[in-house]
Structure 1
Amino acid sequence: MVHVREMDAADVEAVSMIRVRGWQAAYAGIVPETYLAAMTVEGDAGQRRQWFAQPGRQARDLVALGDRGPVGWICFGPWRGEAPGPRRVGEVYALYFLPDLIGQGIGRRLLEEAHARMKSLDFEVSALWVLSDNRRGRRFYERSGYQADGATQDDPYDEMTLTELRYQRVL
């Protein structure tokens, strides 16, 4: 069982490790190997420390704690683009957990807590972007009540451009 709490500055290294390992596992065979191999915990932690310390930032970060410390992380906040509809929209910016813990409910627990907090912030809808080729991620979000709404965006990774699909669910 995991406990979810707000992330603090002491969690930066653990969250960076979760993010880098999560990317390298989830996106193997999707994102170019050169891009994944260039990711480092140290580089991510440096950027995360700067980002985490920004005054007035609206993003919220939660960590899932297991018996070995932080094992998962979710970041969410206000929708960053033009709102996809008339309702007040929150966005899940990132959700990662240790790859060896897939199937243990950590992602679902983090997502449920983020949804509860979004509702308390008066968001009516949660939206997110997921790589179109990330079938496991798409199934996870669909089981969590999200549906693709037809919007797409392209993201460059090294010499390759990958398509992301926008998913939404009512909170």
Structure 2
Amino acid sequence: MVLADCPRVAEIRVRGWQTAYKGMMPQAYLDGLDPADDVGRLRARFEQAVEGVVNLVAEWDGVVVGWACHGPYREGEVRTAEAELYAIYVDPDRLARGVGRALLRESVARCTTAGHGRMLLWVLQENTNARRFYEKAGFAPDGTEEPFEVEGTEVPEVRYALELGGS
């Protein structure tokens, strides 16, 4: 990913939320998401270049169609030796074409090469499509749950883990 990809990544991320979380989060909240509001946050995080954080994009015919971000697992503000998939989004028009699988495989491969022993991620408890996607890739819930709230609506998350075999 390069800085110039941020507007397209923001669009993919917002459309991804609006598509994937429909019926799980308040519709007014989802309708109010705007890529123009998100792009500044993405640029700032990208420019920070936090050690170990990797942003990947997938392209199709020269157009960015997916984004993934991974790095050290976060226990509050503390980064641990384990890896975390922070985000993965695919343009809703390109779902079920292997883009997400390719991004996830690359993130897992990079985390394995970096020596992480385990990769973790958080997924909405109700998001059965995403849970199936991660389970097909070998991830499994590890029993850890976390409350999450969006505009007064509880949308709890569950943590998934994949053993990587790193040190």
For residue 15 of structure 1, report the CA deviation from its aligned partner.
0.4
One-letter amino acid of the counterpart of residue 21, structure 1? R
Residues 147 and 74 of structure 1, relative CA distance in 2, 3 Å threshold: same
Answering whether residue 122 of structure 2 is matched by residue 129 of structure 1, we say: yes
Choose 109-118 or 31-40, whichever is displaced more.
31-40
In the TM superposition, 1:92-131 aligns within 5 A as 92-131=85-124
For residue 58 of structure 1, report the CA deviation from its aligned partner.
3.4
Deviations for 1:90-149, whole angstroms, at most 9, x for unmatched residues?
Answer: 000000001121110100000000011111211111110000000000000000000001
SS in 2 for 1:122: coil
Identity level (%)? 40
Counterpart residue number, 1:141: 134
TM-score (norm 1): 0.90
Unpaired runs of at least 5, structure 1? 1-6
Q: Give the 4+ runs in structure 1 shifted more than 3 A.
A: 55-58
Deviations for 1:4-47, whole angstroms, at most 9, x for unmatched residues?
Answer: xxx11010001001100111000000011121111101000011
One-letter amino acid of the counterpart of residue 43, structure 2? R
Unpaired runs of at least 5, structure 2? none
Mapped to 2, the partners of 1:141 and 1:55 lie a distance apart of 27
